[in-house]
Amino acid sequence: MAGLVAILCSGQGGQHAAMFDLVANCPEAEPVFAVAGGVLGQDPRRFVREVAPAGLFSDLSGQILCCTQALTAWAALGTVRPARAVIAGYSIGELAAWGCAGALDGAGTLRLAQCRAVMMDAAAPSDGGLAAIVGLRRPTLEPILARHSVSIAIVDDVDSFVVGGRRTGIEAACQEAAAHGARHTISLKVALPSHTPFLGRATEQFRAVLREASPRLPRAGYRLLSGIDGDTIHDIETGIDKLARQISTTIDWAACLESCRSAGAEAALELGPGTALSHMASALFPDGRARAVEEFRTLAGLRTWLGRAIG
């Protein structure tokens, strides 16, 4: 039996002008590009090369581009696409993970990405954002955040967090965290306090839209994880609720990675954009068994590595 592989679908922040270069001319990816062009309003391959940086990182285009990247990379794997996989997504990447797992079709995934972004933009405060804080454990960090009305948005590791709130609160929290020994604080290229209570209204709206899309359980052989706790989705109603709630609820990405390993995954492949997830996974998948699509210069090289990784 072929080995189990962890498929990791990236969140926002890693978009760049060359993000589609590896799959741009891949026939298997063409149907996804066609649908994405209709949703985005322009062919995404052209969009990322011509748009101003602000447009590349806007919430609407960013969510659509990240889902497009995951779906095109997944399609481009062609005949080496794994028959068995545990699939997890980081932030908007969780929606892309549903598409890769077959719980949603490609067109439905991209339309939902558009809806999700519009709803989140409407619900978010105008001065919101995210930042990363590394080097403090949760019991030390949480009181600091509470003093500035900032919330933990994503748990990356025991001492690595993404936090969200209003920009003034985030800046003050980062300064206080640094004073308490945080090794690293940085503002992220995301204009919304995603995965915090600020976006509760968007959760309710997206839950209704998601139900109307009639998602289904993943294809046989695929295990789909919930971002908020790393648990496997066994029934669709629970999955819908969790996928909607992650908009305004802390994501436990560390739990997702642990679930990938405990499920028996032998290698991890990040679909992109970016390489952040494969770097985070490298401690659990050492010796080059955690890779990102962007690290490969050719599709042939990517397919060869994946084929060897899963036997």
Look at residue 56 in the predicted model and tell me its pLDDT. 92
pLDDT at 130 over 90: yes
Among the listed residues 57, 72, 48, the one whose alpha carbon sits nearest the alpha carbon of residue 12? 57
237-253 pLDDT tens trace: 999 999 999 999 999 99
Q: From the centroid of its chain, how far is CA 104?
A: 16
Domain range list for the chain: 5-123+197-309, 128-187
pTM over cut 0.85: yes
SS3 at position 25: coil
Backbone angles phi, psi at 251, to 5 degrees: -90, 135
Using pLDDT thresholds of 50, 70 and 90, give the confidence band for residue 191: confident
pLDDT at 91 over 70: yes
CB 280 within 8 A of CB 157: yes
pLDDT at 189 over 90: no
Look at residue 1 in the predicted model and tell me its pLDDT. 57
Angstrom distance (rounded) from CA 196 to CA 182: 21
Q: For the chain, what is the mean pLDDT?
A: 96
DSSP state of 58: S
* Rounded mean pLDDT, 104-125: 97
DSSP H helical ranges for 28-166 = 30-40, 44-50, 53-56, 59-76, 93-101, 106-123, 138-147
Element (H, E) at 280: helix 276-281
Look at residue 167 in the predicted model and tell me its pLDDT. 96
Q: Do domains 5-123+197-309 and 128-187 have the same CATH topology?
A: no
Statement: 128-187 belongs to CATH 2.40.110.10: no
CATH assignment of 5-123+197-309, among 3.90.226.10, 3.40.366.10, 3.20.20.80, 3.20.20.140: 3.40.366.10
Angstrom distance (rounded) from CA 255 to CA 62: 25
* CA 228 vs CA 27, 92, 160, 199, 247: distances in Å: 35, 12, 16, 15, 10
CB 262 within 8 A of CB 285: no
Cis, bond preceding 273 (omega within 30 deg of 0): yes
